[in-house]
Amino acid sequence: MPRQWTQAQREQQRLRIMQQQPWLSSTGPRTEQGKARSSLNAIKHGFCSWRYRGQLREIMRTVKARQKMLDALRFKYRQLVTLR
């Protein structure tokens, strides 16, 4: 059950809040860049985290696929050069 505030308690609390002004010292990111950076705070152990390792696996798959394409292009180029 929610707390039942009397009018006097509400006024007293309002005055406390106005005096302390907690909104002036509130912390936390305000920009999208800051929010994105702070969202990484929950990752434990940095580079050993599952999230990072998953991203790294995806990057490595892409690199390997592009390396295969590059190797194939080099092979074709060598064939063309040797035919001349």
* Rounded average pLDDT per 10-residue block, the chain, 84 residues: 91 95 85 85 66 85 96 91 79
Helix (H, G, I), strand (E, B) or coil at 49: coil
Give pLDDT, residue 23: 86
Give pLDDT, residue 44: 59
Q: Are the C-beta atoms of 6 and 13 separated by less than 8 Å?
A: no
Give pLDDT, residue 56: 86
Give pLDDT, residue 50: 72
Give pLDDT, residue 42: 67
Give which of 68, 43, 67 is closest to 55, Cα–Cα.
43
Give pLDDT, residue 36: 84
Give pLDDT, residue 59: 93
Q: Where are the domains of the chain?
A: 44-84
Give pLDDT, residue 47: 65
Q: How far apart are CA 43 and CA 23, in angstroms?
A: 28
Q: How far apart are CA 70 and CA 50, in angstroms?
A: 30
